[in-house]
């Protein structure tokens, strides 16, 4: 149902906390799930209480004034009360980790590539991917079983020429673009909407991204997980095909170290993206499989509740085992970002072979950034607990 600039839809899946409504801001493409009391209050604030019957909002309970004040502030933050707010307000800590460089519309491109590219994400496409993977494994087993330790093999050394570097860069770039379009195509395939792609500095690393926030309109959690995994599967497929070709060529005494290098690099990108403790693909896959939206914040809240507010544990509709695992995940998340920063600055130092004062400068910069990030993280979660704790507990 469209009410002003908001789309409001009742979720069909059963929830232990009662009726759940998916609210989409069509201006900034922000998705939020609310309970029936919060949804009714949103309609009241918008002056649209008459839609309550159509949305099946019955037996609504009056919320305390303090909670109304806090939830109204969240409505304003999400742009629910003003159709002029086009940009989603991000958490302050995200301003350090993710710096947006450029964003562009890809709807016309998707119309062209979707009919072809979507076939790769069908049962037939999956069979081809499995065949390539089994082919690589089979060749490895064959090579090991027929290997003669007494034989000598001259392995060529790869000398990085300008041409090699350009070829590696273009191949990796193409695999990354295909990775992002894989997210977009699968999201559209399952009913989501995708409009934008862009470039960000993510922990100082230039990265492409595809805005697939439309995935929240997909009810099936397994399909959401597939959207999250589509890019990784694409890179694994490309890397495995290239590795398979390299292995076949080597059996004919044609050893292409460059091809091996590119294939392993693409496969490494896939594995790297599986990290679940920062918002890479692994995080979104885990969130879908755990059936927990906003997994990172909720896990930190669970950890806080477990250690500092145990009286509220009975308000959480979650199995004890799952709650404990996610609490541990929340603790890891709090500190993993700093580990990720250390890894980033370490790579920068090694990539540019920095020594002396430049190395010391990187060390000082890293220390400042890591400290600022940690302070902002703690402050962010302090404000979440202060202003949004009750709502988050209710939505678990």
DSSP string, 270-293: HHHTT-TTTTSHHHHHHHHHHT-T
Quick: pLDDT tens for 260-319: 889 999 999 999 999 999 999 999 999 999 999 899 999 999 999 999 999 999 888 899
Instruction: Name residue 104's beta-bridge partners.
Output: 197
| Residue 291, C-beta contacts closer than 8 angstroms, at least 6 positions apart | 221
Contacts 24+ apart (CB under 8 A), 3-9: 3/43, 3/46, 3/48, 3/51, 4/46, 4/48, 4/83, 5/83, 6/42, 6/46, 6/80, 8/39, 8/51, 8/55, 9/217
Cα 4 from Cα 125, distance rounded (Å): 41
pLDDT, residue 178, reads 96
Phi, psi dihedral angles at 104 (to 5 degrees) = -140, 155
**Cα torsion for 224, 230, 233, 235, to the nearest 10°?**
-150
Please name the helix (run of DSSP H) or strand (run of DSSP E) that holds residue 137, with its range, or none.
helix 123-145
With contact defined as beta carbons under 8 Å apart, do 219 and 20 qualify? Answer: no
pLDDT digits (tens, 9 = 90+) for 102-118: 999 999 999 999 999 99
What is the per-residue pLDDT for 142?
77
pLDDT at 163: 84
List of the chain residues with pLDDT < 50: none
Q: Distance (Å, rounded) from C-alpha 277 to C-alpha 334?
A: 9
Do 152 and 84 contact (CB within 8 A), yes or no? no
């Amino acid at each position: 149902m469209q009410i002003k600039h908001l789309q409001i839809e009742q979720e069909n899946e059963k929830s232990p906390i009662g009726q759940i409504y998916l609210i989409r801001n069509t201006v900034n493409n922000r998705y939020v799930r609310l309970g029936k009391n919060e949804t009714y209050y949103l309609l009241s604030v918008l002056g649209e209480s008459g839609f309550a019957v159509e949305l099946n909002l019955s037996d609504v309970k009056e919320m305390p004034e303090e909670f109304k004040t806090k939830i109204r502030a969240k409505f304003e933050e999400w742009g629910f009360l003003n159709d002029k707010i086009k940009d989603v307000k991000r958490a302050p800590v995200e301003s350090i980790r993710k710096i947006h460089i450029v964003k562009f519309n890809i709807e016309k491109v998707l119309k062209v590539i979707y009919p072809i590219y979507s076939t790769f994400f069908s049962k037939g496409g999956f069979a081809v991917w499995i065949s390539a993977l089994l082919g690589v494994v089979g060749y490895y087993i064959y090579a090991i079983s027929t290997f003669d330790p007494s034989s000598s093999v001259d392995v060529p050394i790869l000398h990085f020429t300008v041409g090699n570097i350009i070829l590696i860069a273009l191949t990796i770039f193409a695999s990354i673009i295909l990775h992002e379009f894989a997210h977009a195509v699968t999201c559209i395939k399952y009913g989501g909407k995708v409009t934008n792609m862009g470039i960000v500095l993510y922990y100082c690393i230039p990265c492409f991204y595809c805005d697939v926030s439309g995935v929240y309109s997909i009810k099936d959690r397994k399909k959401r997980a597939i959207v999250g995994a589509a890019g990784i599967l694409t890179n694994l497929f490309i890397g495995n095909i290239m590795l398979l070709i390299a292995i076949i060529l080597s059996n004919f005494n044609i050893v292409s170290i460059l091809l091996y290098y590119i294939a392993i690099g693409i496969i490494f990108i896939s594995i790297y993206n599986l990290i679940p403790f920062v918002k890479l693909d692994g995080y979104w896959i885990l969130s879908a499989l755990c059936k927990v939206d906003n997994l990172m914040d909720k896990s930190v809240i669970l950890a806080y509740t477990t250690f500092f507010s145990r009286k509220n544990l009975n308000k959480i509709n979650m199995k004890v085992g799952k709650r404990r695992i996610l609490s541990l995940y929340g603790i890891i998340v709090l500190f993993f970002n700093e580990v990720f920063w250390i890894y980033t600055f370490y790579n920068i130092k090694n990539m540019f072979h920095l020594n002396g004062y430049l190395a010391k400068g990187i060390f000082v910069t890293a220390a400042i950034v890591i400290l600022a990030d940690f302070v902002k993280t703690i402050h962010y979660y302090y404000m979440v607990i202060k202003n949004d704790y009750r709502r988050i507990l209710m939505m678990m």
